[in-house]
Amino acid sequence: MKAVILFGHGSRDPLWRLPMETVAARLRAQHPDVAVRCAYLELDAPDLATAAGDVVAAGADRVTILPMFLGTGRHAREDLPDLVQGLQTTHPGVTFVLQKAVGEDSRVLDLIAKIALE
């Protein structure tokens, strides 16, 4: 079974989560066979280890982690790869795929540029 974890920084403001949760809901609606979770680095729950444990317990053997960052700062460059390595150690039979930050995808950047011109 495949799973996707949308990974964000986290915030004390509950409204901050809405865009990520909306993406997760759309993924679930479009791909009901894929387990989808949100996870946060800090200031919010669940953390990455908890979200990964949930999808693995549900039967996922391939987990794609998508950093929901516009840029690749220290968290995406250093902290997140370390967290993913820890997941691989904890769940050796599961493949974890760490994608690049959404802000590094030219399709996202093109869409932002288009929105800016509206």
How does pLDDT run across 1-24, given as a tens digit for each residue? Answer: 999 999 999 898 989 999 999 999
CA angle 71, 40, 60 (to 5 degrees): 105
Containing 39, the helix (H) or strand (E) segment is: strand 35-40
**pTM for the structure as a whole:** 0.93
Whole-number percent of the chain with pLDDT over 90: 85
Contacts of 20 (CB under 8 A, 6+ apart): 6, 8, 38, 68
How far apart (Å, rounded) are the C-alpha atoms in residues 1 and 97?
Answer: 14
Q: pLDDT band for position 105 (50/70/90)?
A: very high
70 residue type, one letter = L
Q: Which domains does the chain have, with CATH numbers?
A: 2-116 (3.40.50.1400)
- Nearest Cα residue to 95 out of 104, 106, 84: 84
pLDDT in tens, 78-102: 789 999 999 999 999 999 999 999 9
